[in-house]
Structure 1
């Protein structure tokens, strides 16, 4: 029974997803990027293409490659696969399948006093990830191009901490030629990575809450994805233990399928009444706002 519970646990699923997405283990020893046909396929979570272990492509990296390239004005595959992931799972991907989300979870487990971001700061900052998506992922690659009509992947190049951790550091450790070329850009990216990792120790998933453009995309699908969460109005007593347990600060009794919910299931485990359920459902539900109005 303990083994079954372990297999069903979120950390186990997160670790398994990270291993599967980075199954080219020998790449970490050779310092070479996998270039097999599987790289034509996007994985659901943020996982750097340049990671020596990566066997698939990052959706954000692929999206920027299309927008910043001069071959295609629109990629039905890249847009379609992102929509497919969003409609099927929503931000369940953030909670269970994203490697960098898993790393932030592990850092937050370090036992130090935690910081609670005041709502008047936290709420406005949540909009930053949509600005990052619009500016760094879409606008700059579309319009800030070189003489050949090609743009670099600005988000990957200047912001993405997952790329530095999974791709930059392992490649530099194994390639002397790359180490000799280090300069301002790498130092900047290392600073971004260190800052996010340090803040992840003191506050829950700051990258997911405030910066991640992939989380921003999936958030649009949370309310309509096939995977949904629900609060049973006839069972809930309004104690709001679930909301106090939620590290993403979701107002669960108002809108459990909030764009900020990563489907981690902590609210469900905390509910003593068993009022919270989750799973795949193709039928429409009553919105939780109807429940709120009847309390």
Structure 2
């Protein structure tokens, strides 16, 4: 585990490159963007850790949220045990480090946020962070269980009506390359485009608004931050200078809560700590000291 922790430290120093590399390898079927087709091979039965649309022409694997809804929305199942187990495995090992390093849509928001403009704090909007848990519980799961048709099947409500990644990776590329898809575009495409544009505009001025307030996958991994093997630690060298709190774009005070639900393990707090009081490891021994917000 020590070697893995050291490897992650190297990735942390080049986080954007790591994000870009992972976005590329999970969407490796580049020629499909020109063909307007979707890869449907055997690997599509496996989920990537982050939010990456199944309908993206380049996608090599499936999105966990989309896969969960596909199973729950069928007439035979009310719960997706395989997909949930896979997400629990990812979360138990890494927690929300997946959001910080391995999610293509998180990477997209990070790039948009680099556009030169006045940046605004989101601390005053912290109450909105609970919205993503509502979406996870109701829109992703319970809507698929109870809002069904006569055959007992349900629409993938989050993917169909909310998720901006679907229109970014799937809807827009496919419509540009495929005439028949362009001809079939309607109000749903317009709605999803408006949502995507809103996220893009907000991402210029606010850091990761989708991750903070909307993403159900982020909500799921947030819960695993409390018990994941990969953890942050603050030792006695901490002088309570507040630099880690000020630098954190996810509004986390690392000196007070190393297992905060909103922490995406980006490592910016480690870089600014003047006493090197913050460290990471794959040790998770003191579960009795967990503080819940």
Normalising by the smaller structure, the TM-score range is over 0.9
Q: Does 1:45 align with 2:50?
A: yes
Residue in 2 that maps onto 1:17: 22
Residue in 2 that maps onto 1:264: 266
Residue in 2 that maps onto 1:105: 110
Residue in 1 that maps onto 2:157: 154
Give 1:248 deviation, angstroms.
0.3
Structural mapping, 1:2-151, within 5 Å: 8-119=13-124, 122-151=125-154
Q: Deviations over 1:45-97 (max 9, x none)?
A: 00000000001010000110111111334333111101101111110000000
Give 1:171 deviation, angstroms.
0.6
Residue in 1 that maps onto 2:3: none
Residue in 2 that maps onto 1:277: 279
Secondary structure of the 1:13 match is helix
Structural mapping, 1:168-183, within 5 Å: 168-183=171-186
Q: Check the 8 A contact 1:89/1:226 in 2, yes or no.
A: yes
| Residues 118 and 259 (structure 1), Cα distance of their counterparts in 2 relative to 1, 3 Å cut | closer
Displaced runs of 4+ in structure 1, greater than 6 A? 4-7
In 2, distance between residues paired with 1:76 and 1:7? 32
| Residues 46 and 109 (structure 1), Cα distance of their counterparts in 2 relative to 1, 3 Å cut | same
In 2, distance between residues paired with 1:210 and 1:241? 24
In 2, distance between residues paired with 1:193 and 1:152? 20
TM-score, with structure 1 as normaliser: 0.92
Q: 2:170 aligns with which of 144, 163, 167?
A: 167
Give 1:139 deviation, angstroms.
1.5
TM-score, with structure 2 as normaliser: 0.93
Q: Check the 8 A contact 1:227/1:280 in 2, yes or no.
A: yes
Q: Deviations over 1:234-275 (max 9, x none)?
A: 100110101100000002111022000000000010101100
Residue in 1 that maps onto 2:254: 252
| Residues 286 and 236 (structure 1), Cα distance of their counterparts in 2 relative to 1, 3 Å cut | farther
157-166 or 130-139, which moves further after superposition? 130-139
* Structure 1 runs not aligned, ≥5 long: 290-295
| Residues 132 and 259 (structure 1), Cα distance of their counterparts in 2 relative to 1, 3 Å cut | same
In 1, distance between residues paired with 2:260 and 2:65? 22
In 1, distance between residues paired with 2:107 and 2:68? 23
Give 1:281 deviation, angstroms.
1.7
Give 1:286 deviation, angstroms.
7.1
| Residues 175 and 126 (structure 1), Cα distance of their counterparts in 2 relative to 1, 3 Å cut | same
Q: Does 1:192 align with 2:195?
A: yes
Secondary structure of the 1:277 match is strand
Give 1:6 deviation, angstroms.
8.0
In 1, distance between residues paired with 2:15 and 2:86? 24
Give 1:288 deviation, angstroms.
7.2
Residue in 1 that maps onto 2:213: 210
Give 1:197 deviation, angstroms.
0.6
In 2, distance between residues paired with 1:285 and 1:133? 25
Give 1:5 deviation, angstroms.
6.6
